[in-house]
Structures are given as C-alpha cells and as structure tokens.
Structure 1
Amino acid sequence: MKSYVEQIKKYLDMEWEVIRSLNLEEISNVMNVLEDARLNNRRIFICGNGGSASTASHFECDFNKGISYDQQVKYDFECLSDNVPMMMAIANDIGYDDIFVTPLKNKMKQNDIVIGISGSGNSENVCKALQYANDEGAVSVALVGYNGGRIKKLAKHVIHVNIDNMQIVEDVHLIMDHLMMYILSGMMG
C-alpha cells in the first residue's frame, strides 16, 4: 500500500502558510460590510464560476440559514450562480459574460453588496458584475487567489489568497465562509 503522508503534509503546510499570510483586517472589514448590510436590510448578491460557484452557494446557505436562524434581522443573500435556467438563457441570448450582471440590473439597488469569487481574479462575468456594482453605488467585495487578477483592482474590499494553487485558493475561500459564519452567528462568543 502506498503512503501519501508526505504529500498530505506538504499540501497542508502550504495551506497553513497561506492562511497565516491573510490580511485579517480586511477580513474583519468584509465582515463589517456584511453585518451592516444585514442590519440595514440591504441585499447581498454573490457569484462565481465552477468551484467558486459552489462556494458562493455555500455562503448563501450559511448566511441565510446558519447565521440568520436565530437573528431578529436576517441576512438577504442571493447566489447568482444558483439559477441555472436563468444563467443558460442569458448565456444563450446575450452572452456568458453577462450571466451575473443581467440579474443585477433587475434587482440590485444602491448600497447593496455584490461579492465576486474568482480563483484567478480574471473571470470576465465576475468582473462585469463588480464593475456594475461600482458604477451603480453598491459595495463590491471580492475573494480572489493567484495574483488577484483584474478583480483585485475592481473591488472595494478584497480577500486575497496569495498562492498559485487553485485547490488551496478554493479551500481558503470556503474557510472564509465558515469563519465568518462561526463568528457572526455568535458561536464564538
């Protein structure tokens, strides 16, 4: 039987190093943006592609159910990646680059929050959503990896996982969801 212990250790060591290098102040700032949105009844839209779409959906679940369950004032998260028929209609009739910005044009209001998740930081459809948020007076937030790409420059608030490894980037993005949920739900005290 083959032992994978050394490879497991190497992977986990890389992940720990990246986690230790995160900008904790910026994570705290993002948490304050989200709490302010909840307390002021603002909507939070979130989007991503592939694994980032899965993370976006996980954020929606954890904030709408997990954190909001015992709260008087609830979160209003909407994952733009979850409505497959709408995304396919937009992709077919308009273009894939518009799958997130088109529903924002119908729903987003000034001071709402738009969160874009992109491992590379260069997903055109996420860029367009964040640019629209900026142009219309919403608050843009990004979770990115690698060098941050174009999205790092677009978003007002950025959680940057600075490593060229998509699996670790996606791991840490999901850790951010669970960290925020754990703290904001009051589980941490």
Structure 2
Amino acid sequence: MEKFINNYTNSLINLLNQIDQKSIVKIVESLEYTLQKSSKIYIIGNGGSAATASHMANDLDVGLKLREIRNFNVESLSDNPSVCTAIANDIGYENIFYAQIKNKINKDDLLIAISCSGNSPNILKAVKYAKQKGSTIISMTGFDGGELKNLSDIKFHVQTDKGEYGLVEDIHMILDHIIFSYYISLKPNSKSNYTME
C-alpha cells in the first residue's frame, strides 16, 4: 500500500509540474470577458467530471458573490437530475447538455467542457453546437485529449495514460481551486477557504 501511495502522489506531483500556466491565464481572461458582456458560463461533465462541474459552479458563482469579488453567471448543466433524466429518457443521453443550451447559448457565452477522455458523445454534441453559435469553448481533458481537445479554443490538458481517471480528475479539481484562490487573493482580508462547505 505504501508503494502504491508513493507512486500515485509522485505521479500527481509530476503532472502538477507540467501544468500549462498560460492556459489558466487564458481561462481567467475568458471568465472576465463574460462580465464585460454580461454573458453566461455553462459547465458540463459526466460522472466525476459532473461533480467537478458542480464544484466549479459553486466556487465561481456563489463562492465569489458572497465575498463580493466577482458576479459571474454560472450554471452546471449536470445539476438538475429531473432535466437530465427527462432528456435522456425522451430523446437520448447524448442530448442532455445539447438540449439545455439549444436556442439559448450565444456567441458571448462560455462553455467549459470537462471530459477525461475527450470523447463523450453528449459533451461533443453540446460543444459542436456551441461552436456553431460562436461561443468560446474551454476544455478540461486527460489521456490524449480526444476529439474535445481539438474542438476547443482554450485547452487545459492533463496528458496521462488512458484510464488514469483519478489523476486527471485530481488535476481538474486543482485547476478550479487555483482559479478560485486567485480571485480570493484579489480581495484583502477575504477568507481563503476553498469551498462553501
């Protein structure tokens, strides 16, 4: 067990050392752009990535609003099980995100798509639609990035062997906390806790 723990933590450290800092700067610039345009940030993901999407929405929306730091308009499209299961049941799981942004997302909006493989059909369908509308696409991917990485305007990629979900999801969550902590640092004397928990 100790050997496994050392291998895992060392792998995580190596991945952290490879983070593309410029991509994080671009993500923050894109977030700021939504304030200029009074536009919206949509976040999508499946499984563990749905949890990351929810956590990001919490941090960037309520977490920053309550501290009077930023007033982002953020929605995680995985968060309403009634909506997701109705769409999945009626017209197919590949439509759960696409149907929520259809005739709603616009060119000034931001779509953050989280997928370890980068090949989830429901993620790709929503991303392709958003691109047609001129929206900016930010991807958070792992493994080889899949199709999602190629479709994105801003790519936060964690290069790993296929199937390394834990490591990729760890780094994705750390990205959220880097961005959230950056915003917290902008306000002197603000509490630096990372979530609203």
Could you say whether these structures have the same fold, taking a TM-score greater than 0.5 normalized by the shorter chain as the test?
yes
Q: Report Cα offsets for 1:94-122 as digits up to 9, x if no partner.
A: 11111001110143122100111001111
> 1:148 is matched with which residue?
145
> 2:165 is matched with which residue?
166
The change in CA–CA distance for 1:72 and 1:159 in structure 2 (over 3 A counts) is: closer
Q: Report Cα offsets for 1:4-54 as digits up to 9, x if no partner.
A: 322211101000111111211011101110122134321000010000000
**How far did 1:182 drift?**
0.3
> 2:88 is matched with which residue?
91
The change in CA–CA distance for 1:40 and 1:186 in structure 2 (over 3 A counts) is: farther
CA contact (8 A) 1:43 1:76 kept: yes
Match status 1:139 vs 2:103: no
C-alpha separation between the residues in 1 aligned to 2:92 and 2:47?
17
> SS of 1:9's equivalent?
helix
Q: Would you say how many aligned residue pairs link Structure 1 and Structure 2?
A: 186
> 2:194 is matched with which residue?
none
> 2:184 is matched with which residue?
185
> SS of 2:134's equivalent?
coil
Percent sequence identity over matched residues? Answer: 35
The change in CA–CA distance for 1:11 and 1:187 in structure 2 (over 3 A counts) is: farther
Match status 1:25 vs 2:22: yes
Q: What are the ranges of 5 or more consecutive residues in structure 1 without an aligned counterpart?
A: none
> 1:130 is matched with which residue?
127
Q: Which amino acid aligns with 1:40?
A: K
C-alpha separation between the residues in 1 aligned to 2:61 and 2:117?
27
Q: Report Cα offsets for 1:34-93 as digits up to 9, x if no partner.
A: 122134321000010000000000000001111222336501110000011111111111
> 1:50 is matched with which residue?
47
> SS of 2:49's equivalent?
helix
> 2:118 is matched with which residue?
121
C-alpha separation between the residues in 1 aligned to 2:183 and 2:130?
24
CA contact (8 A) 2:69 2:187 kept: no
CA contact (8 A) 1:45 1:114 kept: yes
The normalised TM-score by structure 2 is: 0.90
The change in CA–CA distance for 1:188 and 1:177 in structure 2 (over 3 A counts) is: farther
The change in CA–CA distance for 1:168 and 1:73 in structure 2 (over 3 A counts) is: closer
Q: Which amino acid aligns with 1:176?
A: L
C-alpha separation between the residues in 2 aligned to 1:72 and 1:66?
9
Q: What are the ranges of 5 or more consecutive residues in structure 2 without an aligned counterpart?
A: 189-197
The change in CA–CA distance for 1:72 and 1:182 in structure 2 (over 3 A counts) is: closer
The Cα RMSD (Å) is 1.5
The normalised TM-score by structure 1 is: 0.93
